[in-house]
Amino acid sequence: MRCTLCGGPQVHKSKGYGVISGRSRNRQRVAMGQGPHQCRRVAAQRARRVLRCAGLMALGLWPIMAQAAQPDVAEHQHPHPHAHGRHNAGAHTAHHAGPPAAVEARSSTSVQVNAHRYDYMFQPAQHEPDATTHLTAELLRNRDITTLRGLEHVAPNLTMQSINGTASTNFYLRGSGFNDFTQNNMPTVLTYVDDVAYPYAAMTDGMMFDLASASVTPGPVGTEHGQSTTGGEVHLRTADPTDTWHFGASQDIASYARSRSEAYVSGPLAKGLDFRLAGQTRQGGGWQRDPENGDHLGDADLWALRGKLRWRPDDKTTIQLGGHFVQDNSEVVTPQAVHRIIGSTPLPDYGMGTDAQWSSNSTFDKLIGRRDGLKPSEHNQYWGADVHIVHDFGPVTFTSVSAFETERRGEYTDQDGTARQEADTYRTIDGNVFTQEARLNGSALGGRLNWVVGGYYQRSQMNQRFFFNYTDYAARGYMMSTSFGQNQQSVSEFGHVSYRLPHNVTIWAGLLHELDDRSITGLTSQIFGGATHNFHAESTASNQFAGQVGVSWQFVPNAMLYYKMSKGFKPGGFTANNTQVQAQLDPFHPETVLTYELGFKSDPIPNRLRINGAAFYNDYHNQQVVGTVLIPDYGPLSEITNAPKSESWGFEATLEANPISRLHIMQNIGWQRGDFQNFPNVDRTATNAYYAKHGTWNAIERNFAGVDNGSPKLTLNGEAMWRQPLGKGYRLDFGPDWQYRGSQAIVVGGTGYQRLPSYFLLGAHVTFRPPSGKWEATLYARNILDKRYAESGGMATTTYFYVPGEPRFIGGRVSCGF
């Protein structure tokens, strides 16, 4: 029999948990009522909703809640409570059996009366046993997060840094990560965009627009989808097509003539066929200048388009085609030299301000095929296409994700941070990646048993060429190039199963097997006007397992505990830049880690207070680390190597609170420590000191056992928001935000100038919202105290350098959506 109120089947008195008869895309678990018919509760809930909505209208908040229900809001994009936004709607995962039925019934009908659009979102994720940080699109906009690097401002224990001021990015999550300047190796933290894995993070340049949500998941991961990683993953979810017409645009103008523009249109083309087209442009914003000649550096010049076409031939099948194109000709931030390793030429002292020096050599410009007077800049082009297929067979759901991504890059950097040509570099990359994932998800036993099995394949091809200008470095005095090709493919099979026991206890286990094979070919090192060296090919293969076991306990409806043990692994690879001897091409070994994690999630006062936290311990074997190799009669060079034994430990926590109705506070805290237990390597500092004293190169070896891993020990970020009604439905939202990052070493065992100083940044914004919710206007300030700080750093041939962070930016943004 069907209920006349809700149209669903009548559910009669019973005990325990059950599943509504009949089948929908997501099988909805409900708690069996004690009355004769479950819809009595539904009717009462609807009545409460009507009263609450009336209250919201009276407060002038209804437009805000109405906008929160639009299709581009994160929770609407991911109605299923699993997978941290990684899978399409309708796809079950086996990560967890979900919240107990009674809990799910309560959470699914709660209305956040005093909540803003991104307050206490992702409620189903509160019942997932992980330490994932979930981020809404509005939070990212308010915090001015427009690139991957900005995510460190809104997640704990996360450091994301530019490589030499460029669009290339390095990740450090819970202290796991390394500096891969050549970007030809799999990163420790993998980036996904709409379920598509990007094995080279630079391919995501220009992709952070028209977002629905983002998430950061500490590793190890990989037993439910994609590839195994030791550090974790970052997932970006872009807005999907809608079956009703929507369009919108935004314009952001700020200091230093910076301009950002975005627009989208979405709607139906025919019955069951919807589309979405979105684009962005970025211009200006360059804040560095050369005090010697007044030249200007750092202007953005980027545009990007993304399109999606979704076809629903029936109520069980979804096929979505996607594509994107990015052109980035932006200038980059140039480093500032902070210490001279070799030579006696004085260094400029600009104190991490807006002054900087860079150089250009007409002979070098001609050699690389670029115009005279080239500034440090990008000349990059990315494009890709993907196909998502989801079909609900009833007992199981099938998901297929196919993607092809390309990159064509030309990148010029002045790494020595001076007007001399001592370490000027230009590199070109021509690469492509094909990935294919297929998985089956299912559940049984009334939703108590959940499982997923699948496979993943990846193939990549890459050609790189590095040009180096050493003409002002007396020990070399020449220009040279290194070129190579790299082929890689991997295949993995994974499975994950979870089972909910009585008393709201859930156990789960997962297993992944991955085979990775990669080779480096045709490596040539050429000194122009001198010798050319050809090196023979090298290859490396890994064949390993990863896995996870855990238990969680939902001991009260609004709080849970979990414990898990995870093993992750990451393939080996090659250090390929500036190769001088064959031994530099010896591959480094795969990295493995065994992680123990204990965590909790709680909403002790629903819609008023949320506290989540986790503690972890990582036991690494062959951790991949940037070390040092000494080339006789040449000097020390960086290379990726393995630390046989290392460890890290720490915790992170997130607090959201509404101490009073109009004030919302959010605070992330991350703390971690780690050290090497066994790591023999060249001591670069001692080796450089020996050269300075004796004039000859001699490798000083050292075991770095007991030395700190160099990652920031403490990271903090958060915001406070005051929401002031102005009458007739208008409202003003305003408040500060902040970020702190502790000191970070840029070389193993680094001290003094070999460490990036800690820093604290303060920002603020005020947003005016009309009752219609169709537009809003924002004024904001970033680094409002105009703090001078180093965002990242490194070493070049003759200097250590810091990459300065942005100065104060004051701007405004107007956006509308219909």
Q: How much is the pLDDT for 5?
A: 33
Residue 10, domain member (yes or no) = no
Given a contact cutoff of 8 angstroms between Cβ atoms, the answer to whether 589 and 549 are in contact is no
Q: Report the alpha-carbon distance of residue 616 to residue 232 in Å, rounded.
A: 13
Cα distances (angstroms) measured from residue 1 to each of 8, 9, 46, 254, 717: 8, 6, 21, 61, 53
Higher pLDDT, 353 or 32: 353
Q: Report the alpha-carbon distance of residue 522 to residue 545 in Å, rounded.
A: 31
Q: Are residues 113 and 239 in the same domain?
A: no
Average pLDDT for 770-787: 95
Q: Does a cis peptide bond (omega within 30 degrees of 0) precede residue 199?
A: no
Q: Which DSSP string do the residues of 630-686 spell out, in sequence order?
A: EETTTEEEEEEEEEEEEEEEEEEEEEEEEEETTEEEEEEEEEEEEEEEE-EEE-HHH
DSSP H or E stretch at residue 67? helix 62-68
Which residues does residue 496 pair with via DSSP β-bridges, in sequence order? 452, 510
Side chain identity, residue 636: P
Q: In the structure, what pLDDT confidence band is assigned to residue 116 with cuts at 50, 70 and 90?
A: low
Pair of tokens at residue 533: 């060296």
Q: In the structure, what pLDDT confidence band is assigned to residue 191 with cuts at 50, 70 and 90?
A: very high
| Tens of pLDDT, residues 720-738 | 999 999 988 999 999 999 9
Q: Are residues 203 and 168 in the same domain?
A: no
Average pLDDT for 391-417: 95
Higher pLDDT, 48 or 685: 685
Given a contact cutoff of 8 angstroms between Cβ atoms, the answer to whether 780 and 812 are in contact is yes
Q: Could you tell me whether strands 232-238 and 189-193 are parallel, antiparallel, or unpaired per DSSP bridges?
A: parallel
pTM, two decimals, is 0.86
Pair of tokens at residue 660: 């009073």
Q: Which DSSP string do the residues of 154-191 spell out, in sequence order?
A: TSTTEEEEESTTSS-EEEEETTB----TT--S--SEEE
Q: Are residues 149 and 213 in the same domain?
A: no
Mean predicted lDDT score pLDDT of the chain:
86
Average pLDDT for 473-493: 93
Q: How much is the pLDDT for 449?
A: 97
Q: Report the alpha-carbon distance of residue 697 to residue 680 in Å, rounded.
A: 19
Q: Residue 190's Cα: distance from chain center in Å? A: 8
User: In the predicted model, is pLDDT for residue 117 greater than 90?
Assistant: no
End-to-end Cα, the chain, rounded Å: 40
Residues 6+ apart with CB under 8 A from 371: 365
Residue 324, domain member (yes or no) = no
Q: Report the alpha-carbon distance of residue 576 to residue 347 in Å, rounded.
A: 29
Provide the 3-class DSSP secondary structure of residue 42.
helix
Which is nearest to 583 in space by CA: 623, 538, 635?
538
Q: How much is the pLDDT for 455?
A: 97
Q: Report the alpha-carbon distance of residue 703 to residue 724 in Å, rounded.
A: 59
Cα distances (angstroms) measured from residue 702 to each of 229, 307, 626, 682, 711: 29, 54, 15, 6, 20
| Tens of pLDDT, residues 310-345 | 999 999 999 999 999 999 999 999 999 999 988 888
Which residues does residue 209 pair with via DSSP β-bridges, in sequence order? none
Q: In the structure, what pLDDT confidence band is assigned to residue 118 with cuts at 50, 70 and 90?
A: low
Residue 804, domain member (yes or no) = yes
Given a contact cutoff of 8 angstroms between Cβ atoms, the answer to whether 580 and 638 are in contact is no
Average pLDDT for 122-130: 94
Q: Which residue has the tokens 């250590």?
A: 800
User: In the predicted model, is pLDDT for residue 360 greater than 90?
Assistant: no
Given a contact cutoff of 8 angstroms between Cβ atoms, the answer to whether 418 and 290 are in contact is no
Query: Buried b vs exposed e over 331-342: b needs ≥16 C-beta within 10 Å?
Result: bbbbbbbbebbb
Which residues does residue 674 pair with via DSSP β-bridges, in sequence order? 648
Domain count, the chain: 2
Q: Report the alpha-carbon distance of residue 231 to residue 595 in Å, rounded.
A: 10
Given a contact cutoff of 8 angstroms between Cβ atoms, the answer to whether 147 and 208 are in contact is yes
- Phi, psi dihedrals of residue 721, rounded to the nearest 5°: -130, 130
Q: Residue 391's Cα: distance from chain center in Å? A: 29
**Cα dihedral value 210, 216, 221, 222, nearest 10:** 0
| Tens of pLDDT, residues 30-73 | 333 333 334 434 434 444 443 344 333 333 333 333 333 333 33
Q: Report the alpha-carbon distance of residue 182 to residue 579 in Å, rounded.
A: 12
Given a contact cutoff of 8 angstroms between Cβ atoms, the answer to whether 212 and 73 are in contact is yes
Q: Which residue has the tokens 């005020």?
A: 766
Pair of tokens at residue 805: 């962070």
Residue 9, domain member (yes or no) = no
User: In the predicted model, is pLDDT for residue 762 greater than 50?
Assistant: yes
Q: Are residues 28 and 142 in the same domain?
A: yes
Q: What is the CATH number of the domain that holds 525?
A: 2.40.170.20
Q: Report the alpha-carbon distance of residue 677 to residue 365 in Å, rounded.
A: 46
Residue 141, domain member (yes or no) = yes
Q: How much is the pLDDT for 727?
A: 87
Q: Are residues 141 and 248 in the same domain?
A: no
Q: Are residues 170 and 294 in the same domain?
A: no
Neighbours of 608 (CB within 10 A): 18
User: In the predicted model, is pLDDT for residue 210 greater than 70?
Assistant: yes
> Which domain, by its residues, includes 147?
17-187
Higher pLDDT, 26 or 696: 696
Which is nearest to 697 in space by CA: 627, 633, 629, 628?
633
Q: How much is the pLDDT for 47?
A: 40
Provide the 3-class DSSP secondary structure of residue 720.
strand
Given a contact cutoff of 8 angstroms between Cβ atoms, the answer to whether 184 and 639 are in contact is no
Q: Are residues 114 and 232 in the same domain?
A: no
Average pLDDT for 579-592: 91
Q: In the structure, what pLDDT confidence band is assigned to residue 777 with cuts at 50, 70 and 90?
A: very high
How buried is 72 (Cβ within 10 angstroms: 0-12 exposed, 13-18 middle, 19+ buried)? buried
Lowest mean pLDDT among 28-32, 237-241, 478-482, 609-613: 28-32
Residue 12, domain member (yes or no) = no
Given a contact cutoff of 8 angstroms between Cβ atoms, the answer to whether 339 and 804 are in contact is no
Higher pLDDT, 340 or 109: 340
% of the chain at pLDDT higher than 70: 86
User: In the predicted model, is pLDDT for residue 10 greater than 50?
Assistant: no
User: In the predicted model, is pLDDT for residue 772 greater than 80?
Assistant: yes
Lowest mean pLDDT among 47-61, 474-488, 541-555: 47-61
Q: How much is the pLDDT for 76?
A: 38
Residue 721, domain member (yes or no) = yes
Q: Are residues 748 and 777 in the same domain?
A: yes
Q: How much is the pLDDT for 708?
A: 94
Q: Report the alpha-carbon distance of residue 799 to residue 338 in Å, rounded.
A: 7
Q: How much is the pLDDT for 632?
A: 85
Q: Which DSSP string do the residues of 578-609 spell out, in sequence order?
A: T--SGGGGSPBPPEEEEEEEEEEEEEEETTTE
Q: In the structure, what pLDDT confidence band is assigned to residue 194 with cuts at 50, 70 and 90?
A: very high
Q: Are residues 156 and 229 in the same domain?
A: no
| Tens of pLDDT, residues 226-279 | 888 999 999 999 999 999 999 999 999 999 999 999 999 999 999 999 999 999
Q: Write down the H helix ranges in 184-259.
A: none
Which is nearest to 162 in space by CA: 334, 348, 319?
334
Q: Are residues 34 and 183 in the same domain?
A: yes
DSSP H or E stretch at residue 118? none
Last residue of a domain, one of 187, 210, 230: 187
Residue 11, domain member (yes or no) = no
User: In the predicted model, is pLDDT for residue 190 greater than 60?
Assistant: yes
Q: How much is the pLDDT for 644?
A: 97
Last residue of a domain, one of 143, 161, 187: 187
Indicate the length of the chain as a whole number. Answer: 818
Q: Are residues 233 and 116 in the same domain?
A: no
How buried is 709 (Cβ within 10 angstroms: 0-12 exposed, 13-18 middle, 19+ buried)? buried
Higher pLDDT, 41 or 652: 652
Q: Residue 708's Cα: distance from chain center in Å? A: 25
Pair of tokens at residue 616: 């972890």
Q: Could you tell me whether strands 775-782 and 809-817 are parallel, antiparallel, or unpaired per DSSP bridges?
A: antiparallel
Average pLDDT for 692-715: 92
Q: Are residues 249 and 166 in the same domain?
A: no
Last residue of a domain, one of 164, 187, 210: 187
